[in-house]
Structure 1
């Protein structure tokens, strides 16, 4: 395993939670990145969902360089073309909602950490054979913690990150971490749209801190 891959895995493991966020307004994206970092986030996933996502990401990546220990990756990548252009824009890692061979192959050849989305044992195994060190269990709300246990029972060295439906409460998070996840991805459940629209970033920061502290207590 390369040093950079290990660094990414270590950071994901340490915080236990990867915020998943997208917004078409760069000013909002910068503010959310700031409060996330201040709350303790060290790995942040911006998603390729808005029509101007590439432009926003490029500017956000440059902005994020004021935090030298922050890793900024891109999610919702379905094509080699998108993987290539976001890689060239400085993405530290690439996440896909599905297992896309051309994306995995590009990332492997280019030396960029890739996290494919998987929903079956077959997909997890295929991802492993393509070089994946971590997979995104997606959609998490449909798969549940029992899927995590089943995967780890037969592929124990695979790191798993459920995303989609992960809730910021003790019962939900305890279920995931007891099952053996490395970290969780959290988007709409973490980022209150009303708080963002009203500019209440202080409450957003407090919410992120609470979730990170809760995860740390479950990992002890």
Structure 2
């Protein structure tokens, strides 16, 4: 799955969407060409949303959980069917839990020390958060001594800078409100979400080629 994720390079981050609109929002993302979705656990019905997405889309998308803050969170997300777990921070217990059940955990890191500590603990990929605040230049500099670290950049990534982050060496980009904004969902602008998803995919295709 990690190899497929690295090839796809894009994860749509779904945060606190109404349960009755999440299927439409994710369908728009899927039609736009993005097939990895992260549902953040800070929504009360997040696990129900994960189950609903899996039941509706089957194996046409891969659904993971974000904002995993504890082993308890990791267990309930895994029980709901989440295929991967993403945290905003590094927690060795969450990483160990993921290893025990055979599901990848992408811990949040910021500094070189945090990144290498996570890798030493067994993380196959780390999340750099908030990446947009620091910019692609930060990633490029970190990649000098830490070229071996697979990175997912999340937070503040948009159509204007996503190519810069890919060029700097990140393996995967997480797309939040810049792709699925609450305003668009509330307005029913799913065509706009699909169009934006497609624009991101085209940038990735140009980068890969």
TM-score (norm 2): 0.93
Equivalent residue, structure 2, for 1:150: 141
Equivalent residue, structure 2, for 1:10: 3
Contiguous gaps of at least 5 residues in structure 2: none
Give the Cα–Cα distance (whole angstroms) in 1 for the partners of residues 121 and 55 of structure 2: 31
Equivalent residue, structure 1, for 2:190: 201
Shift of 1:30: 0.8
Runs of 4+ in 1 over 4 A off after TM superposition: none
Give the Cα–Cα distance (whole angstroms) in 1 for the partners of residues 53 and 208 of structure 2: 31
Is the aligned partner of 1:110 residue 2:101? Answer: yes
Equivalent residue, structure 2, for 1:192: 181
Provide the secondary structure at the position in 2 that maps to 1:154: coil
Equivalent residue, structure 2, for 1:219: 208
Give the Cα–Cα distance (whole angstroms) in 1 for the partners of residues 18 and 10 of structure 2: 24
Report the count of equivalent residues.
209
Provide the secondary structure at the position in 2 that maps to 1:27: coil
Equivalent residue, structure 1, for 2:37: 44
Structure 1 segment 9-158 matched on structure 2, within 5 A: 9-65=2-58, 68-158=59-149
Instruction: Encode CA deviations 1:42-101: one digit per residue, 9 max, x unaligned.
Output: 211111111222222222222231xx2421100000100110111111110000000012
**1:61–1:72 contact (8 Å) kept in structure 2:** yes
Equivalent residue, structure 2, for 1:3: none
Q: Which one is further off, 34-43 or 111-120?
A: 34-43
Equivalent residue, structure 2, for 1:5: none
Provide the secondary structure at the position in 2 that maps to 1:153: coil
TM-score (norm 1): 0.89
Task: Give the aligned CA root-mean-square deviation in angstroms.
Answer: 1.5
Give the Cα–Cα distance (whole angstroms) in 2 for the partners of residues 131 and 150 of structure 1: 23
Is the aligned partner of 1:179 residue 2:168? Answer: yes
Provide the secondary structure at the position in 2 that maps to 1:157: coil
**2:19–2:45 contact (8 Å) kept in structure 1:** no
Provide the secondary structure at the position in 1 that maps to 2:148: coil
Shift of 1:9: 2.1
